[in-house]
């Protein structure tokens, strides 16, 4: 069996070791990090790892962490995404030192590019995109120099200025660094620095018709902000020589270093904005905050707590080794947090009716329900009881095996907090479905205690019909039924068709806050639940955040 328990957070990792070393060698006196999302989608659980790392380091070393929008692709970016990212970072419990955008630096970046041209280290290439691609070479063959590579500095300066001044159509020219078309590292084969794009930018409007590329922008933005350690994921390891080349060839306000760590990959889920975007745009889910999506906003709606996500990130740690984390690790971090946090209540998701024939029709009584078995501070609530109740359809079986300790004709069970009842008769509808169970109760068993020492093994939950609140409950399962859905050419093939089950006929005890998406409940025996954004007092809608136990563990073991 694999261990998916969540150990108490130990923050040490190889990046903190590097920082400790830098501090003790007096190489630095303040640690500055940044979390640099591109605002082209909503943040997901993978981003949470980077957020916890960057903001966590700034917090623990009394340093600073900026939230920086790496917004150099205006065609894919939007204010909606910017707002969602800010909200998610705040919700996770982190505070940024400042919140700049790479686009705030467009003037400075332009000047840096001009500086490179002056030094003869950048040139305007007039090959079209296809020619540039074809002449770049491959992993096994070197690239071919552009026929425009030896333009004079003056000509390059003039052309670059004309590019900026809207003299050319998209793709007519591009600015490239002049490094080495024979380099074994393709990223160093005269990488593109600027391209012409006539697109309105959400921050700079129509001020620019040329936009800098990521690799050029990123390191310079870090340097402008005084970032000391620029932490990114392993796929940028091959870009580090370019990151260094740019900073080494320009006079920058500071000199950051780039350090790579492994991306979070989680079984049964996608951690790529592009693929999540596809799920949203093709309508496979209800939106970026669909509770089945492992976006931060989906998880929030589903009922994840920020504390559980941070605990998960602590538990998985930060290394340079790629690995895939089991979903159980995330689920257990959530269960552990909700177990401490959630008030207990009773609800019936798929009800059948129980009529207690020897309980007086007009009688009602209140039982005192403990709100949290381990935390007396949660107090108690009153749970109303009457002659007619709802119980869970699953808790009844007509031809039950010996080991079935719930309701069955002739058998006795304990109603949580209340009485022992025995099932005497089963009433079915025309379709042969069980509708009502006629039962009797033992008044001596009040409070659930045995009056004469007789044994009753099963305890089931219930709700008084007269006092019940009708609600919709959404039950969720994993969105994909293969462990690595992102690997397939068509991710939609492995969508789990049963990832959401809508139960329209659920019944809650009255002491439940029906709106707000704030209060986590444990519905006894059923799992953890929270009100959905769509929930109203008239039409309550709840999401099951998580079951009490991992129902997939068994399936995985038997694989």
Interface positions with ligand ATP (CB under 6 A) = 36-38, 46-47, 49-50, 232-233, 263-264, 271-274
Query: Which long-range contacts link 75-83 to residues 24+ away (Cβ below 8 Å)?
Result: 75/197, 75/199, 76/38, 76/40, 77/38, 77/39, 77/40, 77/201, 77/202, 78/39, 78/40, 78/202, 79/202, 81/39, 81/40, 81/41, 81/42, 82/39, 82/202
CA distance 84 to 96: 15
DSSP H or E run through 382: strand 380-386
Which position's Cβ is nearest ligand ATP? 46
CA distance 149 to 135: 12
Rounded to a whole number of angstroms, the minimum distance from the CB of residue 222 to ligand ATP is 11
* Six token digits for residue 520: 């986590």
Which C-beta is closer to ligand ATP: that of 196 or that of 231? 231
Active-site option among 87, 263, 446, 525: 263
# chain residues binding Mg ion, by CB under 5 A? 1
Rounded to a whole number of angstroms, the minimum distance from the CB of residue 272 to Mg ion is 10
Burial degree of 453 (CB within 10 A; 0-12, 13-18, 19+):
exposed
State how far the alpha carbon of 80 is from the alpha carbons of 40, 202, 286, 498, in Å: 9, 10, 17, 30
* Six token digits for residue 159: 């052309």
CA distance 128 to 195: 11
Which C-beta is closer to Mg ion: that of 217 or that of 332? 217
Residue 414 partner contact from Mg ion, ligand ATP, none using kind-dependent CB cut-offs of 5 to 8 Å: none
Active-site option among 273, 301, 345, 411: 273
Which C-beta is closer to ligand ATP: that of 102 or that of 407? 102
State how far the alpha carbon of 67 is from the alpha carbons of 61, 84, 237, 277, 313, in Å: 17, 13, 22, 22, 19
* Six token digits for residue 283: 């309508």
Residue 37 partner contact from ligand ATP, Mg ion, none using kind-dependent CB cut-offs of 5 to 8 Å: ligand ATP
**Beta strands 380-386; 462-464: pairing state:** unpaired
Rounded to a whole number of angstroms, the minimum distance from the CB of residue 182 to ligand ATP is 29
Rounded to a whole number of angstroms, the minimum distance from the CB of residue 39 to Mg ion is 11
Residue 232 partner contact from ligand ATP, Mg ion, none using kind-dependent CB cut-offs of 5 to 8 Å: ligand ATP
CA distance 518 to 165: 52
Which C-beta is closer to ligand ATP: that of 124 or that of 299? 299
Residue 219 partner contact from Mg ion, ligand ATP, none using kind-dependent CB cut-offs of 5 to 8 Å: none
DSSP H or E run through 9: none
Which C-beta is closer to ligand ATP: that of 254 or that of 272? 272
DSSP state of 295: B
Rounded to a whole number of angstroms, the minimum distance from the CB of residue 90 to ligand ATP is 16
Site string for Mg ion, 30-69 (x = CB under 5 A): --------x-------------------------------
Q: Which of 549, 544, 550 is nearest to 347 (CA)?
A: 544
Q: Which of 385, 358, 367 is nearest to 466 (CA)?
A: 385
Q: Which of 302, 310, 289, 263 is nearest to 81 (CA)?
A: 289
* Residue 215, SS3 per DSSP: helix
* Six token digits for residue 362: 């007009």
Residue 136 annotated as catalytic? no
* Six token digits for residue 488: 């397939």
Rounded to a whole number of angstroms, the minimum distance from the CB of residue 218 to ligand ATP is 9
* Six token digits for residue 69: 């929008």
* Residue 529, SS3 per DSSP: strand
Which C-beta is closer to ligand ATP: that of 51 or that of 421? 51
Which position's Cβ is nearest Mg ion? 38
Which residues, at least 6 apart from 73, have a Cβ–Cβ distance to it below 8 Å?
38, 40, 211
- Whether 351 contacts 390, CB under 8 Å: yes
Rounded to a whole number of angstroms, the minimum distance from the CB of residue 555 to ligand ATP is 25
Which C-beta is closer to ligand ATP: that of 49 or that of 507? 49
Rounded to a whole number of angstroms, the minimum distance from the CB of residue 194 to Mg ion is 18
Residue 538 annotated as catalytic? no
Rounded to a whole number of angstroms, the minimum distance from the CB of residue 123 to ligand ATP is 28
CA distance 105 to 115: 15
Which C-beta is closer to ligand ATP: that of 230 or that of 535? 230
Which C-beta is closer to ligand ATP: that of 97 or that of 263? 263
Residue 50 partner contact from Mg ion, ligand ATP, none using kind-dependent CB cut-offs of 5 to 8 Å: ligand ATP
Which C-beta is closer to ligand ATP: that of 77 or that of 392? 77
| CA dihedral sign of residues 87, 88, 93, 96 | negative
Residue 273 annotated as catalytic? yes
| CA dihedral sign of residues 269, 274, 275, 279 | positive
Rounded to a whole number of angstroms, the minimum distance from the CB of residue 73 to ligand ATP is 10
- Contacts to Mg ion by CB under 5 A: 38
Catalytic residues: 38, 263, 273
């Amino acid at each position: 069996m694999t261990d998916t328990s969540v150990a108490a957070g130990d923050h040490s990792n190889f990046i903190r070791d590097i920082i400790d070393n830098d501090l003790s060698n007096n190489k630095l006196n303040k640690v500055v990090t940044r979390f640099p999302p591109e605002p082209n989608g909503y943040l997901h659980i993978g981003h949470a790892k980077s957020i916890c790392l960057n903001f966590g380091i700034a917090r623990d070393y009394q340093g600073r962490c900026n939230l920086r929008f790496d917004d150099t692709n205006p065609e894919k970016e939007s204010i909606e995404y910017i707002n969602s990212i800010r909200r998610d970072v705040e919700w996770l419990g982190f505070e940024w030192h400042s919140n700049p955008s790479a686009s705030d630096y467009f003037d400075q970046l332009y000047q840096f590019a001009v500086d490179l041209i002056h030094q003869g280290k950048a040139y305007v290439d007039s090959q079209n995109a296809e020619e540039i691609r074809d002449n770049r070479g491959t992993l096994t063959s070197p690239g071919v120099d552009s026929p425009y590579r030896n333009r004079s500095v003056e000509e390059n300066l003039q052309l670059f200025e004309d590019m900026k001044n809207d003299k050319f159509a998209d793709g007519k020219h591009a600015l490239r660094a002049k490094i080495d078309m024979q380099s074994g590292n393709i990223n160093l084969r005269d990488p593109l620095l600027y391209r012409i794009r006539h697109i309105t930018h959400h921050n700079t409007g129509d001020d620019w018709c040329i936009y800098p590329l990521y690799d050029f922008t990123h390191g310079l933005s870090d340097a402008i902000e005084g970032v000391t350690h620029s932490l990114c994921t392993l796929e940028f390891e091959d870009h580090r020589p370019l990151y260094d080349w740019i900073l080494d060839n320009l006079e920058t306000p500071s000199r950051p270093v780039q350090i790579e760590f492994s991306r979070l990959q989680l079984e049964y889920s996608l951690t790529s904005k592009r693929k999540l975007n596809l799920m949203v745009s093709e309508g496979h889910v209800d939106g970026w905050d669909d509770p089945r999506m492992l976006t931060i906003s989906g998880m929030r709606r589903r009922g994840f707590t920020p504390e559980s996500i941070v605990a998960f990130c602590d538990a998985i740690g930060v290394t340079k080794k790629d690995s895939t984390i089991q979903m159980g690790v995330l689920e257990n971090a959530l269960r552990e947090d909700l177990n401490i946090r959630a008030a207990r209540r009773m609800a019936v998701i798929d009800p059948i009716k129980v009529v207690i024939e020897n309980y007086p029709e007009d009688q009602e009584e209140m039982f005192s329900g403990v709100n949290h078995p381990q935390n007396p501070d949660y107090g108690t609530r009153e749970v109303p009881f009457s002659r007619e109740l709802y119980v869970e359809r699953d808790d009844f079986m007509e031809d039950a095996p010996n080991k079935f300790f719930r309701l069955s004709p002739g058998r006795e069970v304990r109603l949580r907090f209340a009485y022992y009842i025995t099932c005497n008769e089963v009433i079915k509808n025309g379709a042969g479905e069980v509708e009502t169970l006629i039962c009797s109760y033992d008044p001596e068993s009040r409070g659930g205690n045995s009056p004469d020492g007789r044994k009753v093994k099963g305890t089931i939950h219930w709700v008084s019909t007269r006092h019940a609140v009708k609600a919709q409950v959404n039950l969720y399962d994993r969105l994909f039924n293969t462990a690595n859905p992102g690997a397939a050419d068509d991710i939609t093939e492995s969508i789990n068709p049963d990832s959401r089950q809508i139960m329209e006929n659920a019944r809650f005890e009255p002491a439940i806050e029906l709106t707000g998406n704030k209060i986590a409940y444990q519905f006894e025996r059923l799992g953890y639940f929270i009100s959905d954004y769509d929930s109203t007092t008239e039409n309550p809608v709840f999401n099951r955040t998580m079951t009490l136990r991992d129902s997939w563990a068994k399936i995985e073991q038997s694989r």
